[in-house]
Each structure stands twice: as structure tokens, then as C-alpha cells.
Copies of this chain bind each other. A is one copy, B any other.
Amino acid sequence: MSRRAAALVDREKEDTVSHADLDAIAAPHALEPTDGPLLPEELGLAFRCHGLPLEALRDELTPAGLHYLVVHWDIPHVEPGRWTLSVGGNVRAPFELTLDEIRALPAETVPVTLECAGNGRGRMRPRPVSVPWLDEAVGTAAWTGVPLATVLERAGIGRGAREVVFRGADRGVQGGEDQVYARSLPVAETKRPEILLAYAMNGRPLEPQHGAPLRLVVPGWYGMASVKWLTSIEVVTEPFEGFQQAVAYRYQTGPDDPGERVERMRVRALMVPPGRPDFFSRRRYLDAGRITLEGRAWSGSGAVERVEVAVDGRWADARLEPPLGDFAWRGWSFGWTATAGEHQLTCRATDAAGNVQPLESPWNYQGMGGNGAQRIAVTVR
């Protein structure tokens, strides 16, 4: 653990739910980025953290069970009947809500693309050591719930409030610290009407692994902001410095760089791999002739305004589909006359803020925000 991280752990007693002697925790601290082989722990995380099979990019809304999934510790067992959400801190009127009370409030449904901030990490060199995602940590669902703003208005945010802290029921050890999962949003951000306290996903009750009975959904931000198994909302007057905010999820140049908070999703396009795959190599085989390449693109900083496809390094514009929503990926297609031989396909997106997806992910110490372009090797026969 870096000096900065150690100092923060020391400071953040408020976020430490157990009074275990931290020195006695034999957990490995953050490992340095490596050019070495994949570790058994990284493999275990790859099986626990489910990826989107890229052929599922053909669906506007990701079917249940195919949405990417990160569970930091264990999926907690939450009994909906005994669960409540507490809303408090620097508010005029703190209160608790049962699930039935939340369901009785006016609901919204918003299609949202969520992506793990660590997507692309497994391709970075040297490789930051955590979940070694390649391209698959993404998914889009129609989330249904109560706008966060509705609940915060009812509580009445007090003067001097700076951030709102969201805590989950999931608990475990990370970086030597025994903790519950907790993240914050600036107060101004919490007023966005599309931020939901969601209890349904694609028209069905939330699954345990997606945060049942209630989760936060923060459209536009990487997934770490969308706290699952939500148990409390606390308005605070100081910047929140919990582990998942101040130590994890930072753009850092090295272990002692405080870095910048990871927030909005960087612009990115993915393609449905065309043709048929080889089981092991995932190399694609397809027949010569006219085909349509297709995929989806998204950004947390504005609408996707352009998608380009390159066949063997020659770029051309793809055709964009109408947007699915302001916070969801946008479909695209590209006609290609496939000729016999070996080809390399890739794609990249540009958003309304002028961000152009890079071909290689910019490296950083924790492997965050990797949006390097997908590359697909195809054999045309």
C-alpha cells in the first residue's frame, strides 16, 4: 500500500466498520503493475466477474445474465423484508424507507450503459494487477426506480453540504482495510434527474448480484459509482475520503501520486465479432462477400457523434443508429465487402465533447478508464 493510501486508511475511521487491528490483516496490499504472467488470483476474479460475451452487443438491452458484473467481496444476502434505506447526515429531516415505501413513489425507467472503470486493464503494459478485463466489462439495461433527487428533496439537504455518501451492504477487506463499500457524489451531481435508486432491471426485480433489493444507478459514470445493495445515503459537509473514493478508482501515475478521481466513462466503441469463432483463439472465420459489421458506442461526456471502422488500417465512417437514450450506447453499422485473406478490424468513437477514442489505452497505475480500440482478427475464405 502506498504512503498516501496508508495515511488515508488511518484517517478514515468513519468508514471502518470493524475495529480489527489492521496490522494483523495479512491481506496482500496492492501489487505493482507487472509484465509477468497472469496470477491465479487474477484468473479467479475473471471467473467471478462476468463479462459481456461480445456477440451480445447485438442486443440494445443486454439480456439478464449477460450484463457485466463486478462483486468486490461476496454478494451479500439481504432479506428485502428486513431491509431499510436510511437517509440522513446533514439533512433537515432524516428518515428510513422500506422497499414497499420506495416502490410506492413515482418511478422512472432509464436505459443506461454501465462499464467497469477497469475495462481494458488486462491489455495494458505493464499490467496493473486487479480484475484483468479485456473489452467485455460493459452492458446496457433499462433500470427502473425512484429518482435520487426525489428522496434527497424529501430529506432536505442542509447548508454546507458538499457530498452525498452511498453505502452498500457488501463488506470485505481491500488494501488491508476491513470496509463496507462506499462511494460519494458531489451534491450538484445528485440533482441530475436521471440518477435512480433502482429496484428493477429490464422489467424484472433486481437479481441479488446486481444489488437487490436496491441500488444506485449513476448514468454516465463508470460502474463503481452505482453502489449496489444500498443501505444508507448520508449528506456530508467534507469531501468523502473512503477507500473506494480516495485510494481505489484514481487515475494515478504511480503509487504515491494522489491522482484524479475516476468519474465519467470515456468514449468507446465495440463491434460484434463477425462470422464464426474458433473456440479457443476466438479468431473469426467468415465467407467472402458483402456483410454488415455492427456494434455499439458510448461516452459519459456526451452523445456519440461519430464511429469509424478500420479494415486493415483504412478508416471510414460507420452509419449511426438513432440514440437509444441520453445515457445508453448507440448502435452503428458498416458495410464491408470481405475479400479472401486475413484482415484486422477495429473501430473507434468520437463524442459530442470532441473526445476521440484512442487506439491504445492511456496507461495509469490502477489500470482505469482503458478505452483503447478493440481489434478483431478475421480469416475470410
21 contacts between A and B (CB under 8 A): A20-B285, A24-B381, A26-B342, A26-B379, A27-B285, A37-B38, A40-B122, A43-B132, A44-B134, A47-B50, A47-B133, A47-B136, A58-B77, A63-B208, A64-B64, A65-B210, A66-B75, A66-B209, A171-B276, A174-B279, A178-B276
A166 to B77, CA, bound (A): 39
Contact between A173 and B276 (Cβ–Cβ < 8 Å)? yes
Return A290 CB to nearest CB of chain B, in Å: 19
Task: Give the interface residue-count category, chain A.
Answer: 35 or more
A46 to B63, CA, bound (A): 19
B interface footprint on A31-52 (CB within 8 Å = 1, 0 otherwise): 1000011101111111111110
Please give the count of copies of this chain that the complex contains: 2
B interface footprint on A16-32 (CB within 8 Å = 1, 0 otherwise): 00001100111110010
Supposing A47-B51, A48-B53, A75-B55 touch, asked if A278 and B27 sit within 8 A by C-beta, the answer is yes
A26 to B283, CA, bound (A): 9
Question: Which residues, 297 to 319 on A, are CB-close (under 8 Å) to B?
Answer: none
A69 to B72, CA, bound (A): 21
A122 to B47, CA, bound (A): 11
* A337, CB-defined interface residue at 8 Å: no
User: B residues within 8 A CB of A132?
Assistant: 43
Contact between A28 and B278 (Cβ–Cβ < 8 Å)? yes
* A74, CB-defined interface residue at 8 Å: yes
- Besides A20-B285, A65-B207, A173-B279, 5 more A-B contacts (Cβ < 8 Å) are A40-B134, A43-B43, A48-B53, A50-B50, A73-B279
Return A241 CB to nearest CB of chain B, in Å: 19
Contact between A281 and B27 (Cβ–Cβ < 8 Å)? yes
* A8, CB-defined interface residue at 8 Å: no
A15 to B115, CA, bound (A): 40
* A56, CB-defined interface residue at 8 Å: yes
B interface footprint on A71-114 (CB within 8 Å = 1, 0 otherwise): 11111010000000000000000000000000000000000000
User: B residues within 8 A CB of A171?
Assistant: 276
Contact between A43 and B38 (Cβ–Cβ < 8 Å)? yes
User: B residues within 8 A CB of A133?
Assistant: 47
* A277, CB-defined interface residue at 8 Å: yes
User: B residues within 8 A CB of A174?
Assistant: 278-280
* A282, CB-defined interface residue at 8 Å: yes
